[in-house]
Amino acid sequence: DVKVTQSSRYLVKRTGEKVFLECVQDMDHENMFWYRQDPGLGLRLIYFSYDVKMKEKGDIPEGYSVSREKKERFSLILESASTNQTSMYLCASSFRAAGLALRNEQFFGPGTRLTVL
Amino acid sequence: LAKTTQPISMDSYEGQEVNITCSHNNIATNDYITWYQQFPSQGPRFIIQGYKTKVTNEVASLFIPADRKSSTLSLPRVSLSDTAVYYCLVGDNNNDMRFGAGTRLTVKP
């Protein structure tokens, strides 16, 4: 079974803090993704990575950065957390067979509910 | 941005067949159509993917007309456990595949 794990289910931080959200997958997937999910807005793509040290901006990258130093790990960083970053954060991974293969099945982690006070 | 349009919500009753239609008027030649299911407090889960005509698996069927400007996810004989949000996405290997707001399906006893 594909397993995508996220470092925390729930996280509470203060405005201005630096926040790290970690995601690890165990299926040797090339592609990894970070989404945030807010009521009524569905899932919005923040960043994705198709290889180690490679990253591409999604639809809402502002206020976020990412790091992919190892194939199995993809980190989302909030440099200075703000209250409007309170959300559910979901990580996903997928195989890359041809091109970026972004249409391949994505496997999601359980999510991290982040609250910024 | 999502290239699809779906109803915001639908209600059904146990045992009924449910059809959720997705509009994608600007679908490109190389785009595939993919559906995901998301239960509360979980990440989305892949259900089915197709390019044209009909695809069926153990969970659902996907109907795609010849012009491919829409698609219909069909869930046979739903149960309470099928209550979830269903997302329709279109895209190809090198193009944007985006989740929209999805369709919230509520199955009632």
Q: Residues near A111 by Cβ (< 8 Å), separated by ≥ 6?
A: A6, A9, A37, A88, A89, A90, B41, B42, B43
* Residue type for position B26: N
* pLDDT the model gives residue B98: 79
Nearest CA in chain A to B39: A110
Give the integer Cα–Cα distance in Å for B6 and B23: 7
Neighbours of B109 (CB within 10 A): 7
Mark yes or no for CB contact A101/B93 under 8 Å: yes
**CB of A60 closer than 8 Å to CB of A88:** no
- The per-residue pLDDT for range B23-54, each reduced to its tens digit, is 999 888 888 899 999 998 899 999 999 999 99
| Tokens describing residue B42 | 């979980």
Picking from B93, B94, B95, B96 by the largest number of A CB atoms within 10 A of its own CB, the best residue to mutate is B93
* pLDDT the model gives residue B38: 95
Mark yes or no for CB contact A111/B44 under 8 Å: no
- Chain centre to alpha carbon of residue A59: 13
Minimal Cα–Cα distance from A83 to chain B, Å? Answer: 21
* pLDDT the model gives residue A111: 95
* pLDDT the model gives residue B21: 96
Mark yes or no for CB contact B43/A90 under 8 Å: yes
Per-residue tens of pLDDT for chain B, all 109 residues? 558 899 999 999 999 999 999 999 988 888 889 999 999 889 999 999 999 999 999 999 999 999 999 999 999 999 999 999 999 998 876 656 778 789 999 999 9
Picking from B8, B97, B104 by the largest number of A CB atoms within 10 A of its own CB, the best residue to mutate is B97
* pLDDT the model gives residue B30: 82
Nearest CA in chain B to A107: B45
State chain A's mean pLDDT as an integer.
92
Interface of A with B in 49-88 (CB under 8 A): 59
Minimal Cα–Cα distance from B58 to chain A, Å? Answer: 16
Mark yes or no for CB contact B46/A106 under 8 Å: yes
Closest listed residue to residue A25, CA positions, set A58, A1, A55, A47:
A1
- The per-residue pLDDT for range A63-73, each reduced to its tens digit, is 999 999 999 99
Helix (H, G, I), strand (E, B) or coil at B55: strand
* pLDDT the model gives residue A92: 95
* pLDDT the model gives residue A41: 86
Tell whether the model's pLDDT for residue A42 goes beyond 70: yes
Q: Provide the pLDDT confidence category of residue A55 given band limits of 50, 70 and 90.
A: very high
* pLDDT the model gives residue B31: 85
Is the CB of residue A4 less than 8 Å away from at least one CB of chain B?
A: yes
- In chain A, DSSP assigns E strands to 4-6, 10-13, 19-25, 31-38, 42-49, 56-57, 65-70, 73-78, 87-94, 107-108, 112-116
**CB of A85 closer than 8 Å to CB of A116:** yes
- In the predicted model, what is the mean pLDDT of residues A5-15? 95
Give the integer Cα–Cα distance in Å for A41 and B51: 26
Tell whether the model's pLDDT for residue A27 goes beyond 80: yes
* Residue type for position B30: N
- Output phi, psi for A10, to 5 deg: -135, 140
Give the integer Cα–Cα distance in Å for A106 and B46: 7
* pLDDT the model gives residue A101: 56
Is the CB of residue B94 less than 8 Å away from at least one CB of chain A?
A: yes
Give the alpha-carbon dihedral of B33, B39, B41, B45, to 10 degrees. -40
Mark yes or no for CB contact B41/A111 under 8 Å: yes
